[in-house]
C-alpha cells in the first residue's frame, strides 16, 4: 500500500506511538523516523533503507534542553554549539546515556543528537515528548529526499518502507546537517553540512579550541548521495561547458553564484537527471567556503559512485 501523505501532525503522532515509520520534513532533508526508544521500530528503519545495521542514527529532539536525556555528559563544545545553532542543521556527537538502545548507535558509546528546525516536525516532537531516530529517508547510498514526493518515490513501494509521509513542503536548506564530534578535544567536524564549517570553528575557537577535520562519520562511504547516471565535476564554468559539450545529453549545473540555491536544488537536480535519462550530470564545484564545503563533499561522493 502506498504511504499516506499528509500534513496532519496528529496522524503522524499516532503512527510513531504504535511503532510505525514516519517520514519527517526537516530544514535539511526528509528523515525516516521511528520512536528511538522502540527497538523493533528502529530496526524497521534499517530494513526499509537497506542500510547496514552498524551505521548509527541521529536522534531528533524537540529542544536543546532534551540533550541531557540522551547524553551521559554534555561537553562544553556541545553546549556552545547547541546553544548557538539549535534549532538548526547541526548534529552533535556526545557520549550516550545508559538507556540509549544499541540499535540506534550501532553499538557505539556515542550518540548523534539534533534539534531540527521545521514547524511540523517540531510540533510532532513536542507532542511526542521522546526522541525520533531518523536517517535520511532514501534507500541506502542514494540521494537524500528534499520533498515528500522524493520519499514516496524512494520508499513508497518498499514493503514496510514508510507508513506515513508528513508533508512539510520542500526542504529549505537541501543538504544534511553538519556533524560535529564533541567526544574528542578539540571537537571534529565529521560531515560538512548546513552550518558552515567556518561558523563551527568560530563558535568553538574562543570556548574550546580549534576544530580539526573533516574526517569521516561511520558509514560515510566515499561513494554516497549518488544518482544512477555519471557525475562529472569541473572547477570552472568554462571547463564545465567544455565537458558538457562532449556528452550526449548532459544536465549542466553551473550556477555557483548563489550557494544557498545550489544546496537547496542539488538533490532535486541529481534526481531529475535520472528521471530524464540524461547521459551525465556536469557540475561546477563551488568554492570551498560556507555552504560550499557541504556541496563539494556531496558532489565528490556522487562522482565517486561511478569511479570504481
When the beta carbons of 87 and 112 are compared against Mg ion, the nearer one is 112
Restricting to residues 150-179, name those near ligand TXA by CB under 6 A: 176-177, 179
Q: Alpha-carbon distance 138 to 225, whole Å?
A: 9
Vertex 305 angle, CA 300 and 308, to 5°: 115
**Quick one: which of 4, 17, 55, 127 contacts ligand TXA (CB under 6 A)?**
55
Binding piece for ligand TXA, criterion CB under 6 A, among 106-114, 124-132, 238-246, 264-272: 106-114
- CA 2, CA 5: separation in Å to the nearest integer? 9
For ligand TXA, the binding residue among 81, 93, 165, 187 (CB under 6 A) is: 93
Applying the rule CB under 5 A, the residues between 98 and 137 that interact with Mg ion are 136
Residues in 14-33 at the binding interface with ligand TXA, rule: CB under 6 A: 26, 28-29, 31
Residue 111 binding ligand TXA, by CB under 6 A: yes
C-alpha cell of residue 197: 564549517
Q: Which is nearer to ligand TXA, 84 or 237 (CB)?
A: 84
Min dist. Cβ of residue 56 to ligand TXA (A): 3
Query: Considering the rule CB under 6 A, would residue 91 count as an interface residue with ligand TXA?
Result: yes
3, interface contact from Mg ion, ligand TXA, none, CB < 5-8 Å by kind? none
Q: Note if the bond before 87 is cis, omega within 30 degrees.
A: yes
Is there binding between residue 217 and ligand TXA (CB under 6 A)?
yes
Q: How far is the CB of 278 from ligand TXA (least distance, A)?
A: 25
Q: How far is CA 296 from CA 221, 252, 286, 299, in A?
A: 15, 16, 7, 5
- 34 and 42 Cβ atoms separated by less than 8 Å: yes
Q: Give the 3-state secondary structure of residue 119.
A: helix
In 117-185, where does DSSP find H-type helix? Answer: 119-128, 148-155
What is the full DSSP assignment across 19-41? T--EEE--SSS-EEEEETT-HHH
Indicate which single residue of 42, 124, 190, 295 sits in contact with ligand TXA (rule: CB under 6 A): 190
Q: Does 26 bind Mg ion (CB under 5 A)?
A: no
How many residues in the chain?
A: 308
C-alpha cell at 42: 528502529
Given the rule CB under 6 A, which residues bind ligand TXA?
A: 26, 28-29, 31, 55-58, 89, 91, 93, 105, 108, 110-112, 114, 116, 134-136, 176-177, 179, 190, 217-220
Amino acid at each position: 500500500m502506498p504511504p499516506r501523505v499528509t500534513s496532519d501532525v496528529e496522524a503522524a503522532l499516532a503512527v510513531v506511538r504504535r511503532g510505525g515509520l514516519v517520514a519527517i520534513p526537516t530544514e535539511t532533508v526528509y528523515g525516516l523516523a521511528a520512536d528511538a526508544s522502540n527497538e523493533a521500530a528502529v530496526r524497521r528503519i534499517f530494513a526499509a533503507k537497506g542500510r547496514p545495521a552498524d551505521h548509527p542514527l541521529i536522534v531528533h529532539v524537540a529542544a536543546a534542553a532534551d540533550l541531557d536525556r540522551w547524553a551521559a555528559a554534555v561537553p562544553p563544545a556541545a553546549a556552545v554549539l547547541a546553544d548557538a545553532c539549535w534549532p538548526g542543521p547541526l548534529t552533535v556527537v556526545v557520549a550516550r546515556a545508559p538507556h540509549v538502545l544499541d540499535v540506534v548507535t550501532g553499538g557505539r558509546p556515542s550518540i548523534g543528537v539534533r534539534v531540527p528546525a521545521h514547524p511540523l516536525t517540531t510540533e510532532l516532537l513536542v507532542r511526542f515528548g521522546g526522541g525520533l531516530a531518523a536517517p535520511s529517508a532514501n534507500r541506502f547510498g542514494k540521494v537524500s529526499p528534499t520533498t515528500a514526493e522524493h520519499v514516496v518515490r524512494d520508499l513508497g513501494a518498499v514493503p514496510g518502507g514508510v507508513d506515513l509521509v508528513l508533508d512539510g513542503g520542500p526542504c529549505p536548506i537541501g543538504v544534511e546537517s553538519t556533524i560535529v564530534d564533541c567526544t574528542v578535544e578539540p571537537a571534529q567536524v565529521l560531515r560538512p553540512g548546513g552550518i558552515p564549517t567556518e561558523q563551527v570553528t568560530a563558535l568553538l575557537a574562543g570556548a574550546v579550541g580549534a576544530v580539526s577535520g573533516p574526517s569521516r562519520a561511520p558509514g560515510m562511504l566515499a561513494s554516497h548521495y549518488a544518482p544512477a547516471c555519471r557525475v562529472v565535476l569541473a572547477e570552472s564554468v568554462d571547463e564545465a561547458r567544455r565537458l558538457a559539450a562532449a556528452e550526449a545529453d548532459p544536465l549542466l549545473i553551473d550556477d555557483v553564484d548563489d550557494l544557498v540555491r545550489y544546496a537547496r536544488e542539488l538533490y532535486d537536480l541529481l534526481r531529475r537527471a535520472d528521471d530524464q535519462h540524461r547521459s551525465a550530470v556536469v557540475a561546477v564545484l563551488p568554492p570551498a567556503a560556507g555552504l560550499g564545503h557541504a556541496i563539494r563533499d556531496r558532489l565528490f561522493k556522487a562522482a565517486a559512485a561511478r569511479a570504481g
